[in-house]
Structure 1
Amino acid sequence: MRDYARYYEAITASLRTSPSRLFLLNLFNSSITKLMYLIYPILLIYIAWCLPNRLLLYILIPGLSFSVVTFIRKSVNQARPYEAWSIDPLLTKETAGQSMPSRHVFSATMISMCFLSMNLCLGAVLLILSAILAICRVLGGVHYPKDVLVGMLIAILAGSLLLIF
């Protein structure tokens, strides 16, 4: 993209003029993230209780794929939008580099895929929340659209292994 700063200003203009929309952006970003990190251990407890022979899969597949995403982030070390362009991000973030892929979106999507393999309806709802988180991360100015898409795609591919095994 030639002028991401202009694009970013255009997609966030309505948020910048509305304190309530800005509040909702921050609320969704933090609430969805916290929800995902809260429900994953609950799922693991359920699996340990009801399906103990599958517990290792639900730990190893997300864990190993998280490690792969972390390795990619460190290898690529892409600057974040607020570092590369003259933009004022709507989400507070002090991190430098390691923008691609988004680990927040990867993690939320991976957790959603874990749930999807156990319960289609709940997994679908969580995937929608993961997509909302992806939008929040882009609108917040901490990730490019491709960062969240790649994070989501890696999680869907890795999470699909849970459907196979």
Structure 2
Amino acid sequence: MKNYQEWYDYMDANIKNKPFLLSLLRTFNRFMTVVMPIVYLTLLATSYFQEGLGEQVLIYVFVPATGFVILSLLRKKINAPRPYEVWDITPLLDRDSPGQSMPSRHVFSATIISMACIHASLSLGIILLVLSVLLGLVRVLGGVHYPKDVVVGYICALVWGVIFFLC
């Protein structure tokens, strides 16, 4: 990406010059890392109490878990550097570990949870899918992922979810 440094410097300056935006960016990132697991656990608990430890609960556990493991192995194999490792930038979000930037596991996790929720409740699932897109945007603006990292993470979760939850 030839003009990434210029683009990020521009975005960084605009966000840093508006403390509310910087706070919103960081708060939303934290919010999603707390809320999505709570939503997922609520989905599991609700399914369990409605059906007992039936097939649906196992599917809600198995599908996201296998997707997460496969994505993690793929990500480790690719081992793409993070933007702050390649460019002279200071990320606006807390730094993640080095490498393994692509695909984004944060976005994959949020999106696969959203897909499970679509299976249970269409309206909730769609809201969560929109929040997952916003999480991807926040991860890019925060300087911890490239746009392709979050797009690939989102698409992988959509495909995995469609195959197992909607087919």
TM-score (norm 1): 0.96
Which residue matches 2:138? 136
Give 2:89's aligned amino acid: I
Please give the alpha-carbon distance, in whole angstroms, between the structure 2 residues aligned to 1:24 and 1:70.
28
Unaligned runs of 5+ in 2: none
Does 2:58 align with 1:56? yes
Does 2:146 align with 1:148? no
Which residue matches 1:122? 124
Please give the alpha-carbon distance, in whole angstroms, between the structure 1 residues aligned to 2:2 and 2:55.
51
Which residue matches 1:24? 24
Give 2:165's aligned amino acid: L
Does 2:159 align with 1:163? no
Aligned-pair identity in percent equals: 44
Which residue matches 1:46? 46
1:40-63: per-residue Cα shift (whole Å, max 9, x none)? 111111112223221111111100
Give 1:163's aligned amino acid: L
Distance 1:117 1:94, change over 3 A: closer
Which residue matches 1:89? 91
Which residue matches 2:35? 35
Distance apart, 1:94 and its partner CA: 4.3
Kindly report the root-mean-square deviation, in angstroms, between the aligned alpha carbons of the 2 structures: 1.0
TM-score (norm 2): 0.94
Moved over 2 A (4+): 10-13
